[in-house]
Amino acid sequence: MDQNQYPAGMPAPEQFPGSTASAQPASSDGDTGSTPAAQPAAPAPSAPAQTPEEGPLPVWMQRTFLVIYVVFCLEIGMLLTILPWTEFWYNNPLLLGHMSAKALLSHNFVRGMISGVGLLDIWLGIWEAVHYHDHRTVPPVAP
């Protein structure tokens, strides 16, 4: 096949793996020419061997994750609940150049909404701690 029929850098259709494109390009007069006998499609490249699904994480790792997650939720929740009502909220050095943002963040509605997100975060951390249960693997029963 003449490689000059395709734009530079574009491979011919038969160079694609698994391609079922005809090796004969269509002629300019509309005649498709003779098509070769149907060739079976090349087998798709096999996927990498998948490892058998491993069980859940070890119990100590699950519990460590839970403790870190609960402490993170409680700390962020307390920060978001208390910070909007402190003096630092008004005198924030990050907002000195943005007076419109400072005006928006000083509205009681916005401060209450941010505190609500903090309370929601505290509730989420407590809920996770209360509803935690270990995911243990069941050892296979010997026959």
The reported pLDDT for the residue numbered 17 is: 60
Q: Where in the chain are the domains?
A: 59-130
Q: How confident is the model at residue 134, as a pLDDT? A: 77
Q: List all residues 6 or more positions away from 22 whose beta carbon is below 8 Å from its beta carbon.
A: 13, 32, 35, 36
Sign of CA dihedral 44, 46, 47, 53: positive
Q: What is the pLDDT of residue 54?
A: 66
Strand boundaries in 30-76, DSSP class E: none
Cβ atoms of residues 12 and 1 within 8 Å: yes
- What is the spatial distance between Cα 90 and Cα 98, in angstroms, rounded to a whole number? 12
Give ∠ CA 102-107-112 in degrees, rounded to 5.
120
Q: Write down the pLDDT at residue 94.
A: 84
Euclidean distance between CA atoms 48 and 105, whole angstroms: 52
Determine contact, residues 33/114, Cβ cutoff 8 Å.
Answer: no
pLDDT on residue 98: 86
pLDDT tens, position by position, for the chain (143 residues)?
555 565 666 666 666 565 555 555 555 555 555 555 556 666 666 655 555 566 677 888 888 999 999 999 999 999 999 999 999 888 888 888 888 888 898 899 999 999 999 999 999 999 999 988 777 766 667 77
